[in-house]
Each structure stands twice: as C-alpha cells, then as structure tokens.
Structure 1
Amino acid sequence: MLSAESTELMLTAPGLGFEVDQPWFMGELAGRGAAGHTGFTGTSLVVDRARGAYLVLLATTVHPRRRPGDSAPRAAAATALARALG
C-alpha cells in the first residue's frame, strides 16, 4: 500500500512518531530494527522488517472503566510472535 520510500521514512527513527526497538511493548521483536506505535486504549502495532512480520494488537483497557497502564500483554503477544517465527 505504501511505497518503499514512504515505509522507510515512517519506520526509520525518528520516524513520524513510531518508536524503534522498545522492549517494553515490542517484547522479543525488539532489537532487530522493529518499529511500532502504541495507542491510548491498549492497542499496538509492531513492524519487524528483518523478519518480514507485523503484529497488530487491538485491545481496550479503558472500557468499561479505565485501569492503570500495563504493556505486559503487548510485550507477551510480540514475544509469542517472535518465538513462532524462530
């Protein structure tokens, strides 16, 4: 959907708001140039260009009531994907 140039611009630090190699929400996908972004409600996107993989997590931590932030589920999902890819 995006050109190679647009993708490079988006995912290379500082990268239009995307964070690079952040283990607090990227789990074991971090450390290989992965980039991603988190959302207020618990959602996240991680793109691991080295493995050709991506993870989209759609979640809500604000409904029916707001709870303290917790990125453990984000990191766990990313780690599970990294391990499945080997």
Structure 2
Amino acid sequence: MALSRDNGLCVRCFKQNKIKKADVVHHIVYLTDDIQKGLDINNLECLCHACHNEEHDERWTGKKSKWKKNMRKGLMFDDDGNLIEEQEMPES
C-alpha cells in the first residue's frame, strides 16, 4: 500500500527533486518504540537503499547515528526485518 501511495518512489529523494526507485518501506516511528504503529500506513515511508542506509547508518558503517539511540535496549531487527533480541556483534 505504501509503495502504491508513493508511486514506487523514494520520498526523501523526491523531496530533493530527484527521481529514485524505492527499495524499502521504512517505519518512521520504529517498532521498538511503538509496536502498535507497525502496520499504520501513516507511519510508513518508501525509501531507496541509500536513504534507508543513511537512516540506519550505524548498522552498515559502524558510525554513531540515531538508529542506535532509537533502539530499545535488548531488541534489534534481523536481515529480514523481524524484531529479535539483540545479539553481540562479533569483532572483526
């Protein structure tokens, strides 16, 4: 529904007058903050991978970002987007 509403475009790129295909439907209010908003269409925005990675840059780059600050201690998402218990990240 969100992809259809946003015409399959990244809403953040579109606001910057760029046309880019959306690859991800992102929860504006994270599920770890309010699980009740999980399927609320008004809490979903379509993003390209670059914008989604920017939103969650700590996971991909290791840099501090609001992603970690917004996570409730002990919870995280797996690669399929399922809410799971936080696991220790192996050091490389």
Structure 1 and Structure 2 fold alike (TM over 0.5): no
Larger Rg: 2
Query: TM-score by structure 1 length?
Result: 0.28
Query: TM-score by structure 2 length?
Result: 0.26
